[in-house]
Structure 1
């Protein structure tokens, strides 16, 4: 485990460098899949790497080594990992597992609450209009989900823009964008270095819904105008009631990307030609994911060989 075990951790440092190119240049649906897969794979692999490093420290403890029938002195001689590194890895592993478990619990409760709220909103076509002067619109996951729109938002947009709004929100539901966001956040919870990837997924899902609305209506400029109008109206009326962590809407979810201007970036993207697939970016991401999986498997095999070598002595 001299090099392979550290590769997932090193790649986690490098991966955020590809966030902006993927989210801006690549087709949004493909970018969402790539960013989500990267967050999950790197988050899982880095956690496994921490576990493997921690095990090399555990087998040096005489009591635990005796339980496994491994001579502790042989473990110290055969494994090049410093004990201090193994201890730090163990501490980080505990924190990663705790944070991932907390995120999963919080996300599960949020989605359950959203599903319950959606079930309590009877409607024929999945559209719920709430009497609220604050402009807002969001998709609420459920079985089935609901599109919730405030009267303030309906008054802000004209009739043609209402169709854009509904196309955008229904795209969130049909493509299960909340699942992509949850999975990306899971990887970032296990490995905080991956938070830029999770944040980018909240942006690319909005872009994905924007592109769906543009395809459905056939007018990219009008979709851009609707997104801009909704954002300006929400800025003038900040009161909002959507469920945190469970709802995705035309206004986007507030987060670290808000400071970078996600709405102007979405508008600019809609005013430009549709983005392509960019094979180079796809290939680079595939290489990172393959290298991560290979290095994790190699590190686990190295640990297995180490335990076998110790057991023979």
Structure 2
């Protein structure tokens, strides 16, 4: 196999390094779609290359040669992948598949539990006010999903803040932000180099909801102040209340430190502008990894054809 065939295993590292700048500079909705789709494509390409490396090593086993009718001398002469690369590819493929399956099962269980909880919440409307004195606000995915806001959070905000909070949470619910986060995490499980990209998606969905609230209210500064007040209230009033694993909220839970200040700073700046050069660079990376993966598949196909011809 050519050296370019191995590039899909390295492209996720480049994507991980560029994920945060893209999340910061692109419009949040566009950034979320771009990063999620890129993560899935890069993870699929790297997994495909690992599978091809494993298959290239498999055909060198004498028993497989005998069963499939491959010519041992052709296999030895053409040798699409050295033994160390084939063995490493097999091991990494097993780890990637195992990690992806485990994460998919866990996320499916979390979403199912969230859907059951949403169905069991009291009241017919989409918004549920809990008696929790702690400051909490989050969405629960379901059919339909629900928005849960605690009395503690309502007490921490003024009426204008209540409207901003509801607008933010409705954006999470309406645009299915939990799905973007889950898909990005699935890609990162298959290719750990994409973990920064998954963290960036968790940030962009919050920014997406922030921008939705800003457009709805027409006051970016008021949204920034509400985000800051909600975060402070939640930090001061943390209690034993349980939040579903699939929930996403205005507080950016389970995210890295510093996310709320970054969101506030972004809201105090003008709305993000379109940046075609960044999009062009991302498109070039995705095109390159797709071509390299196709090249790997073509090389292996040619090799198997030659090995089968006696």
**TM-score past 0.5 threshold:** yes
Matched-pair contact (CA < 8 Å) for 2:130–2:150: yes
Residue 160 of structure 2 aligns with which residue? 160
Offset from partner CA, 1:210-234 (integer Å, 9 cap, x none): 0000001111000000000011111
Does residue 243 (structure 1) correspond to residue 244 (structure 2)? The answer is yes
Gaps of 5+ in 2: none
SS at match of 2:270: coil
Q: CA deviation at 1:84?
A: 1.1
Any idea what the Cα deviations from partners look like across 1:224-261, whole Å, max 9, x if unmatched?
000000111111123342112x0000000213xx23x0
Q: Is the 8 A contact 1:2 1:81 kept in 2?
A: no
Superposed, 1:1-313 pairs within 5 Å as 1-239=1-239, 240-244=241-245, 246-255=246-255, 258-259=256-257, 261-313=258-310
The CA distance in 2 between the partners of 1:238 and 1:47, in whole Å, is 41
Checking the alignment, whether the CA contact within 8 Å between 1:30 and 1:277 is kept in structure 2 is: no
Matched residues in 2 for 1:43 and 1:156: separation? Answer: 42
SS at match of 1:148: strand
Q: Distance in 1 between matches of 2:83 and 2:251?
A: 50
The alignment's TM-score, normalised by the length of structure 2, stands at: 0.97
Task: Tell me how far 1:80 sits from its aligned partner.
Answer: 4.2
Cα displacement string for residues 22-50 of structure 1 (whole angstroms, at most 9, x for unaligned residues): 11110000000111011111111101100
Alpha-carbon separation, structure 2, partners of 1:224 and 1:241: 26
Aligned residues between the structures: 309
| Contact 2:19 2:200 (8 Å CA) reproduced | yes
1-structure distance, mates of 2:38, 2:139 = 25
